[in-house]
Amino acid sequence: MSKIFIAGGAGLLGTALIESLNGKAEVVAGVHSVEKGEAVTKEGVEARVFDFKDVDSIIQAMAGCDRMFLSIPLQEKLTRYGHLSVEAAKKAGIEYIVRSSGYAASSDAHWRLGREHGMVDQFVEDSKITYTVLRPNSFMQCFVGPYAEMIKAGVIALPEEDAAVSYIDVKDIADCAARLLLDNAGFENSFYALTGPEGLTLSQVAEKIAAASGREVTYTPAAEEAFIAALQGKGVPQWNIDMLVSLTRVIKLGMAGNVTKAVEYLTGTPARTFDDFVVENASAWK
């Protein structure tokens, strides 16, 4: 049986992947602190502390594993962490990598976040390790995470105009990754753009959340300057602000509304709908 190393095993995507793999494979969760490791071990999963900045710590955390799931946090050293992780994988004897990247990512993308993710994808491709790269669109979970407070206040204020986004549930990304980590035959050295089943504008998102939560929620397109000021007011690092602004600009160009069938192709099950997501998470906005 394969032994799978999950980089970021205590994060949103990592925990969803652990759940998808539950009982199907031996899993090692790479975590960034003992405290985060304790949360993972409660689920019966081995946790090993590592640091993306330290190749030796990554190699040690991967010891005995032959497969790896690579997701990197949105931090300024994203591409460096990606490079170091791939170098560690080579030295640790990892035989297969599932990389979770970003929608429309490319090493020569014209937008910054897409280029950052794309450079890590390039490191994976150039490593000579067998790989599959998943490129998911924006997460539905953003609406119960960073956007939850503004939703509770009754207004979604983002600089995306009336452009559509084919939001995807993190559970679908995890299910795709789990399927590949368990059996990647026929999917080797390939790239898959993952989306939800429909493109939705933020006006439509607001309507669906309002219907599910029973509270009034509207979408008010924000000026980019106001969006930046709001992020600065929350203490968000400038690099992260630049990445988020680049994403909103791509959305406004209409580049994030396309729908693929990749989730169903990889898992055999259609991607979860936003309607199902809001019903499942309605309590987050009440």
Domains of the chain: 3-136+169-194+258-271 (3.40.50.720)
**pLDDT confidence of residue 278:** 97
Note the pLDDT of residue 34: 87
> What is the C-alpha separation between 25 and 23, in angstroms, rounded?
6
* Exposure class string for 190-221: b at 16+ Cβ within 10 A, else e: ebbbbbbbbbbbbeebbbbbbebbeeebebeb
What pLDDT score does 35 carry?
Answer: 85
Of 74, 64, 80, 76, nearest to 101 by C-alpha is 74
pLDDT of residue 245: 96
Per-residue pLDDT of the chain (286 residues; tens, 9 = 90+): 789 999 989 899 999 999 999 989 999 999 999 888 888 887 789 999 999 999 999 999 999 999 999 999 999 999 999 999 999 999 999 999 999 999 999 999 999 999 999 999 999 999 999 999 999 999 999 999 999 999 999 999 999 999 999 999 999 999 999 999 999 999 999 999 999 999 999 999 999 999 999 999 999 999 999 999 999 999 999 999 999 999 999 999 999 999 999 999 999 999 999 999 999 999 999 8
CB of 177 closer than 8 Å to CB of 100: yes
Q: Which residue type, as a one-letter code, is found at position 180?
A: L
Q: What is the pLDDT at residue 83?
A: 97
